[in-house]
Structure 1
Amino acid sequence: MSDDQSPEPQIFETLQPADLASRVADQVLRAIGDGRLRPGEKVADARLARELGTSRAPVREGLRLLESQGLIVSHPRRGFFVHAYDADELKEVYDLRECLELHAAEAAVARMTKADCARLEAQVQKLYDLADEGQTQEQVVQDFAFHRMLCELGGNSRILRLFDQIAAELRAGIALVGQLYDDPEEIARSHDPLIKALRARDPARLRAELHEHLQDAQIHVVQLFRTGAFDLTNLDKLSDDQRNRLLR
């Protein structure tokens, strides 16, 4: 290597021997989530094994695990690639998110305490504050955090785990939310009907309002994605901390 050539930057951290396959999967998932591995990009198992300090067997096992979750695809004689979702697939993932969130929200109404309701109200107030401050990208992160909080209050750990799992698949759609409104305060206002239903402890009303809220986002996000308005550079505007919180 000549003096003017810089070594290729290392993407992954060296692993210890225990539970290698799942830890490989975790690092690849993080790389997908924060944009270091882009949709359609090849994931070279030889390079991955070298950077992680392990053999190719656990690397392939970890990639197969992510393939079973739909995040990685493999092609004979070509290798592994990050799944590049199209608009129809994104719509399906949003449909799944809605099913999970509607169920969790109904359970949350029965379970939540006054303190829990206050936390949700404070989260919406944070959306208003961020709108006033012009912090639109952070507002997108905190918008998603509100919905995760609602799922958490539902009390079903499996639903919450699945909700977190599909967050990586929804990353493109989440990043587009900020483009749906000319006025960032409208993002905050769109949560007011949810808070009113929660205060009233009315599960039917909450389900109806949440369905409308999620459907509106889905329709517009998928339309932007379908017409090619989605630009991956939007993700680069998020800080590392913001991206990580979208995938917490």
Structure 2
Amino acid sequence: MDFKKQTYTDHVVTYIKQSILDGTYKPGSKVKELVIAKKLSISRAPIREALQILIKEGLVVWTPQKGKFITKLDPKQIRDSYFTGGILEAAAVCSVIQKYTARDIKSLEELAEKMRLVAENGEPIETLAPLDDKFHQILFSRIDNELLLEFCRRACQGISKFLLFRYWIQLYSVEEVYWRHKNIVDSLRKGDVYELEGCIRNHYLDAGKRMSEICRRETEK
């Protein structure tokens, strides 16, 4: 795989995330730097940097004397993560609601419209993962509280689209995903703090409940 030197770390992050999505790395799998280095034909330094980024995002955990592993969640952890993440993201976004520009809102609308087209064209729900990721990145972009951002990311961001992707694709139809995001955009455009707070919080709460239930059923099989 050919990488430009300055983007090695970013490419490793993308590679690991994609490996989680396609099932190469399953929850609880050990992440071996040497294996990745050989696979991508790069040194181990950017791999270590990439793993530190993924640890901060909550996708990878480090266990002393054992190594680094893809995070594994149980139903209660899923429910708790989304409950907490919804409260945090809703509070964070609403605290800076006046900072979102017309361009921000337009970008969110364009992403929601792309989601609608995915539904209209009958494309698989997997197509929505990068769109959803960009959507929440824009929401996070105006938040200048780094501690709060870190807690938000660790609670939910990334987990919904990577660790729990096999559940995520079972939660909603493509059209439902579009409407869930459009409602957030509409609330933000109106500048209604209370409506926006409830919309984001419920966005996560409902997904967490559904995910934890799917996970519970699978663990009982």
TM-score of the superposed pair, with normalisation by structure 1 = 0.63
- Aligned with 1:72: secondary structure? strand
- Structure 1 204/123 Cα, relative in aligned 2: closer, same or farther at 3 Å? same
For 1:119, the equivalent position in structure 2 comes to 107
Deviation, 1:66, is: 7.2
For 1:176, the equivalent position in structure 2 comes to 167
For 2:17, the equivalent position in structure 1 comes to 33
Give ranges in structure 2 of 5+ residues lacking alignment.
none
Deviation, 1:62, is: 6.4
Deviation, 1:206, is: 0.8
1:187 to 169, 177, 190: 177
For 2:205, the equivalent position in structure 1 comes to 215
1:150 to 128, 139, 156: 139
Q: Indicate whether 1:199 and 2:162 are aligned.
A: no
- Aligned with 1:191: secondary structure? helix
For 2:63, the equivalent position in structure 1 comes to 74
- Structure 1 90/200 Cα, relative in aligned 2: closer, same or farther at 3 Å? same
TM-score of the superposed pair, with normalisation by structure 2 = 0.70
Deviation, 1:119, is: 2.3
Deviation, 1:91, is: 2.8
- Aligned with 1:172: secondary structure? coil
Deviation, 1:106, is: 0.6
User: Runs of 4+ in structure 1 displaced over 4 angstroms?
Assistant: 44-55, 61-70, 159-166
- Structure 1 54/219 Cα, relative in aligned 2: closer, same or farther at 3 Å? same
2:73 to 62, 67, 85: 85
Larger Rg: 1
Greater relative contact order (CA < 8 Å, ≥ 6 in sequence): 2
